[in-house]
Amino acid sequence: MNEQAKQFKFVGTRPIRPDGVDKVTGRAMYGADLTLPGMLEGKVVRSPHAHARIKSIDTSKAEALNGVKSVVTAADMPEAESKPVAAGEAMINFRDLAENVIARHKVFYEGQTVAAVAATSNEIAERAAALIEVEYEVLPHVIDVLDAMKDDAPVLHDHIFTGGVTPKPEKPSNVANRVEFALGDIDAGFAAADIVIERKFTTEPVHQAYIEPHAVVADMGPDGKADVWCSSQGHFMVRSFCAGLLKIEMSKIKVSAAEIGGGFGGKTTVYLEPLAIMLSRKAGRPVRMVMSREEIFRASGPTSGAAMTIKIGATKDGRITAGDATLCLQAGAFPGSPVGPAAMTAFAPYDLENVRVVGFDVVSNRPKVVAYRAPGAPISEYAVESVVDELASELGLDPIEFRAKNGAKEGTQAAYGVKFGTIGMQETLEAAKATEHYKIPLGPNQGRGVATGFWFNIGGESCAGIRINEDGSVSLTEGSPDIGGSRASMAIMAAEVLGIDVAKIKPSVVDTDATGYHFVTGGSRVTFATGMAVVDASKAAIDELRARAAKIWDVDVDGVVWEDGHAKPASTNVGDFEPMSLAEIAAIANKTGGPISGHADINAKGAGPGFGTHICDVEVDPDTGFVTVLRYTAVQDVGRAIHPSYVEGQLQGGAAQGIGWALNEAYMYDEDGKLENAGFLDYRVPVASDLPMIDTILVEIPNPTHPFGVRGVGEVPIIPPLAAVNNAVAAATGVRFTALPLSPPAILAGTGAGD
Amino acid sequence: MSGMRYEAPGSVDEAVTLLADEKGVARVLAGGTDLLVQMRAGMISPDLVVDIKKIAETKGITANGGGFSIGASVSGAEMGEHAELTAAWPGVVEGAELIGSTQVQGRATMAGNLCNASPAADSVPALIAAGATCTVAGPNGQREVPVEDIPTGPGKTSLGNGEFVVDIKLPARPAHAGDAYLRMIPRTEMDIAIVGAGVNLVLDDSGTCTEACVVLGAVGPTTITVADAAAALVGSKVDEAALAAVSAAASAAASPINDKRGTVEYRTKVAGVLASRAAAIAADRARSK
């Protein structure tokens, strides 16, 4: 790896991020930071019921209040058909999306939007919201995923008939879809096993818990053109969703990406943006809307909770013969849980001959789920990795060796369809086994757990522009909102290709009018795909720089090469010319054809799958059930770390979120289906003092399809922690827990010490 | 719309007059770590907020005759920096310092924690175990009140119209005295106690316990003083048998509810665990003095 690293001048270095000073000085502009002349403040009226029919909405008292400038309900939004439609490149059911933005006939969860108001101040808007009278007919509700699947469960949507089964069911139900992935013959596989372990698991829905709330400013002029400023994981997503919902041409909506204070998948959809446009259109003034933390918990999507059954068989010598899984995932109020990826990833870290995974996408009266880092994978892989660990333990095998013996490698056929190319599963296991951490002796009530994780990573549409300025500095434009330090990585890759200092390059995330369509910042795709566009754009700029040098020298362009930031004659045959620097060529660009730039608009293919192995040490207080995480090491194949600090940060952040998922995070509902812990006091994400330093080891098995070998890194690290913690707790207590979170009361109840 | 008034009087009398004259809802502001959060969450909307931080009597920690007077606007961080106070009453200080986080500690006050009247207040069990009193100022002058008489139920106090707490007083310590406070939260900070246990005890020269007080938080509508646990300690060397008896007595005395923060079974069990652990720490501290 060091040998390869030597060939790079900037890739693998750690310059200060271009957005760093703005962020530490408070100058950075986040979603709520924009103020426009005449701007109104918008507030949302939310359902107090988990499931109810809307009988009437009377907005007259609110409209009569002095200072109120507009009120909107579902009547202000065009009705959409219930069918998947291409929005940008994603398939969206606009009817579900519309109802999640503003309820039309029914409310499906406590906190769902039923109306919105805009007024001259927050206080007036709040008072107006309280004056909107909504008459409900309360309906029976269902919260739990297994309850929602029962025959006598209240049915949320009478148009949902379970998909993926034949014949089509006669009755509507809450089971929106069934998926299945299979390989080989599991009956034969289990027959060949010496040991079979089957366990049932449950996990809670968990929220992404981004620190910045959803926030938007929208301003629509009388000509129907809208400017939108918001914090999201994709301003092109915001444009296409708003255009589709409101039936406005995309060219008439310009969305600018504010800085974003965390998303983790949770900002890959719209909540406030269409409402703000509707309110602005009606009021003729700009409107700002900002969610409170309580609204975020009640009305924005977490990822699914789940109920699962996992069965794995193995021979005495440690070869897994078959894996079988049934996964039931909560989708929330509308179909669309990540059961597909959960099913596809469940056994993906392993080279297995016989696999079957069946998954169900189940609606219930909770907020609609939305993406959260590696959607679905932490859930299914937690359950599988817990059983894998138990098998290793029962067979008396080292858990890393057992995984290595069965682990995926180049050429492994995954049950979900692909045959893996160059992957680093085995290398992460080897690196984990070689750590000091894995050898540290443990004390009383302490335990060590290991788990692996797999995620696909994706490519997708990205664009980049490289503009060579007259003074030789470079403006880099792209359209992927920067969540994890991607501007720094883009500048590094451009510098590497152009051969100029990284400090000469200023990267910017530009608005939807200034660059082409980008898929969201998600799927661990930006450094890979937008990075590829930046490399291509840089190469295009170099071609133009070479052409200009050729013109100056009056030689054929093939006679000019680009090395170390200079145009040089390809050989002495071309002629004896002094190399020209990028700055020298730029300075006289007006004499050689005008401004110099390079552009690339691509759909990146060939994202490299990512694998990680985590080691976790815990100590469990036998009398209180409190779990202390003592040590934690995250090992991951990152392909190539462009800016290693931000890669390490991804690993640490993913591990921290996964530990929170494992230990304390949970949604608590009362009997009426109302959320009891809509705030950070009782929705317990880990605080800094809860965690040890998360050590990271970057394994670099370059992705052969990326010019620098990049693999996505942002999602893999949230997958292993759930099982790593669970397996460590099992080692510390001797009890195999099968439900998350592992809160102190749950631990005490499980170990029997609470009796 | 709301005509909320903010006043920051410079004297106890002015504060009392402002509070007593207010016809609407009046609230006292010290650190504000409960009040401002409740206002922001829309739980309360006071007509008058009286900031007591400019009143001299609410400031500073004074040592007198072996005891201490801690002003009502003294923050947890100030207490933690006070070497004498921390040496004499480590349990009281650690209770106050568990409130919130490092940032919150710069503001949060013990008097505010007391008057917020949460059954889970972290500073209160150790204060009661210590035999602390507080000075209450009001329209009829000032009175000294045992701290346990201030909270009367969740969010409710015995303070009358126009009254507020000016300071909290801790008594002088004999030799071989120690105290401790422990709480259970599912995290390490920024949380509310599921169970809290404060213990204060005095040993004689032979190491036999002569005085003890064991107080539980978060396992009833107000704190619970566990007389049986104290009785188990007095006359013992605070050995394993005595600690087991403390644990059993504390669990027996706990009368918690099931809520989003914990179950009855869990709180009952852990009340005993924390009471005996706090007693052991208090005894170790007493032995070292």
E runs forming strands in A541-609: 560-563, 566-569, 580-581, 596-604
ipTM of this complex: 0.95
B240 and B264 assigned to the same domain: yes
Structure tokens at B151: 């909270």
Residues of B in contact with A626 (CB under 8 A): 184, 186
Between chains, do A663 and B186 touch, taking CB under 8 Å as contact? yes
**Does B28 share its domain with B78?**
no
- For residue B66, the distance in angstroms to the closest alpha carbon of chain A comes to 35
The domain boundary residue, chosen from B150, B170, B190: B170
Question: Is B70 in the same domain as B132?
Answer: yes
Which residues in chain A show pLDDT less than 70?
1-6, 87-90, 754-755
Residues of B in contact with A65 (CB under 8 A): none
Distance set, CA A629 to CA A23, A446, A475, A718, B186 (Å): 30, 10, 45, 16, 13
CB proximity B184 to A under 8 Å: yes
Residues on chain B touching A124 (C-beta within 8 angstroms)? 1
Q: Do the chains contact at B188 and A690, CB–CB below 8 Å?
A: yes
Query: Looking at residue B25, which CATH number applies to its domain?
Result: 3.30.43.10
Q: For residue A624, give the nearest of B41, B184, B263 by CB distance.
A: B184
Mutating which of B188, B247, B274 best tests the A interface, going by the most A Cβ atoms within 10 A? B188
Tell me: the pLDDT tens digits for A668-695?
A: 999 999 999 999 999 999 999 999 999 9
Residue ranges of alpha helices (H) inside A323-455 are 339-345, 377-395, 399-406, 425-433
Q: Are residues B206 and B273 in the same domain?
A: yes
Mutation pick from A204, A292, A624 vs chain B, by most beta carbons of B within 10 Å, is: A624
Residues of A in contact with B182 (CB under 8 A): none
- B164 plus B67 within the same structural domain: yes
Per-residue pLDDT of A95-133, as tens digits, reads 999 999 999 999 999 999 999 999 999 999 999 999 999
Which tens digits make up the pLDDT trace of A578-623?
A: 999 999 999 999 999 999 999 999 999 999 999 999 999 999 999 9
Given B145, B170, B195, the domain boundary residue is: B170
| Nearest CB neighbour to B266, from listed A663, A677, A745 | A745
pLDDT, position A6:
59
In this structure, the answer to whether residues B276 and B219 fall within a common structural domain is yes
Give pLDDT < 70 ranges for chain B: 1-2
Query: What pTM does this model have?
Result: 0.96
Determine contact: A738 vs chain B, CB below 8 A.
no
Write out the E strands in A139-191: 175-183
- Evaluate whether B257 touches B231 at the Cβ level (below 8 Å): no
Sheet with A610-620, side-by-side order of all strands? A446-455, A610-620, A627-637, A694-699
CB A305 within 8 A of CB A337: no
Write down the residue that tokens 């990585």 correspond to. Answer: A489
Of the candidates B189, B190, B270, the beta carbon closest to that of A624 is on: B270
Q: Read off the tokens for A180.
A: 């299945």
Structure tokens at B289: 């003095």
Same domain, B20 and B92: no
Please tell me the predicted confidence (pLDDT) of residue B289. Answer: 84
| Among the partner residues B1, B186, B188, nearest to A744 by beta-carbon distance | B186
Q: Measure the CA–CA gap between A8 and A597, rounded to whole angstroms.
A: 24
B261 vs A contacts (CB less than 8 Å): 682
Say if residues A282 and A70 touch (Cβ distance below 8 Å). yes
Q: How large is the C-alpha radius of gyration of chain A?
A: 27
Test A123 with B1 for CB contact under 8 angstroms.
yes
Return the residue in A294, A623, A661, A670 with the most chain B beta carbons within 10 A, the one to mutate for interface testing: A623
End-to-end Cα distance, chain A: 54
Within 8 A of A677 by CB-CB distance, chain B residues are 260
- Residue B175 distance to chain A (closest CA, Å): 32
Q: Examine the domain organization and report whether B192 and B281 are in the same domain.
A: yes
Residue of B184, B187, B192, B247 to mutate for A, most A C-beta atoms under 10 A: B187
Contact between chains at A754 and B1 (C-beta distance less than 8 A): no
What's the rounded Cα separation, in Å, for the pair A116 and A617? 49
DSSP A79-115: ---SSEEEETTEEEEHHHHHHHHS-SSEE-STT-EEE
Q: Of chain A residues 688-707, which have a CB less than 8 A from chain B?
A: 689-690
Longest dimension (CA), chain A: 90
B158 and B183 within one domain:
no
Nearest-CA residue of chain A relative to B192? A681
For residue B3, the model assigns a pLDDT of 80
* Integer Cα distance of B266 and B237 in angstroms: 29
Mutation pick from B99, B261, B277 vs chain A, by most beta carbons of A within 10 Å, is B261
In this complex, which of A127, A682, A748 lies closest to B269 when CB atoms are compared?
A748
pLDDT at A3 (0 to 100): 46
The verdict on B237 touching A (C-beta cutoff 8 Å) is: no
Intra-chain end-to-end CA distance of chain B, in Å: 58
Q: Indicate yes or no: CB of A754 within 8 angstroms of CB of B191.
A: no
- What's the pLDDT at B1? 44
- CB pairs < 8 Å spanning A and B: 60
> Given 3-state DSSP classes, what are the helix, strand and coil percentages for chain A, each rounded to the nearest 5?
30, 25, 45
In this structure, the answer to whether residues B29 and B60 fall within a common structural domain is no
| CATH code: domain of residue B261 | 3.30.390.50
The sign of the CA dihedral A620, A621, A624, A629 is negative
Do residues B282 and B179 touch, judged by C-beta distance below 8 A?
Answer: yes
Q: What is the pLDDT of residue B206?
A: 97
Token pair of A519 as six digits = 């898929």
Nearest to A668 by CA among A745, A738, A724, A736: A745
Cα separation of A534 and A515, whole Å?
13
Q: Which residues of A touch B122 (CB under 8 A)?
A: none
Count Cα atoms within 13 angstroms, Cβ side, for A596. 30
* CB contact residues (below 8 A), chain A span 37-76, against chain B: none
Q: Kindly list the residues from chain A whose CB atom is less than 8 angstroms away from the CB atom of residue B41.
A: 294
Whether cis (ω within 30° of 0) applies to the bond prior to A702 is no
Provide the residue range defining the domain that includes B63: 56-170
A165 interfacial to chain B (CB closer than 8 Å): no
Does residue B68 sit in the same domain as residue B22?
no
Bridge-based pairing state of the strands A175-183 and A355-363? antiparallel
* Interface probe, candidates B98, B122, B270, chain A, greatest A C-beta count within 10 A: B270
Q: Which of A662, A656, A653 is nearest to A728 (CA)?
A: A662
**Number of domains within chain B:** 3
Report d(CA A373, CA A460) in Å as an integer.
17
In CATH, what number is assigned to the domain containing residue B151? 3.30.465.10
Contacts of A664 in chain B (CB under 8 A): 186-187
pLDDT of residue A268: 95
B261–A contact, CB cutoff 8 A: yes
Using the Cα atoms of residue B60, residue B63, residue B64 and residue B68 in order, give the sign of their dihedral: positive
Q: What is the pLDDT of residue A755?
A: 53
Partner-chain contact B192 A681, CB within 8 Å: yes
Residues of B in contact with A745 (CB under 8 A): 262-263, 265-266
Is A682 part of the contact surface with chain B (CB cutoff 8 Å)? yes
Nearest to B182 by CA among B116, B260, B250, B95: B95
Q: Tell me the domains of chain A and their CATH numbers.
A: 34-139+211-262+267-299 (3.90.1170.50), 306-457+608-751 (3.30.365.10), 459-604 (3.30.365.10)
Radius of gyration of chain B (CA): 19
Contact (CB<8Å) B273/A684: no
Could you say which of A626, A677, A754 has the minimum Cβ distance to residue B260? Answer: A677
Task: Tell whether A104 lies on the interface with B, counting CB pairs under 8 A.
Answer: no
Q: What is the per-residue pLDDT across A311-344, written as a single tens digit (0 to 9) for each? A: 999 999 999 999 999 999 999 999 999 999 999 9
Residues of B in contact with A689 (CB under 8 A): 187-189
Cα A662-A665-A670 angle, rounded to 5 deg: 135
Longest distance between any two alpha carbons in chain B, whole Å: 67
Q: Does the beta-carbon distance from B262 to A687 stay under 8 Å?
A: no
The reply to whether B257 touches chain A by the CB within 8 Å rule is no
Query: Are A681 and B260 in contact (CB < 8 Å)?
Result: no
Question: Which chain B residue shows the shortest CA-CA distance from A689?
Answer: B188
List of chain B residues whose C-beta atoms are within 8 Å of the C-beta of residue A123: 1-2
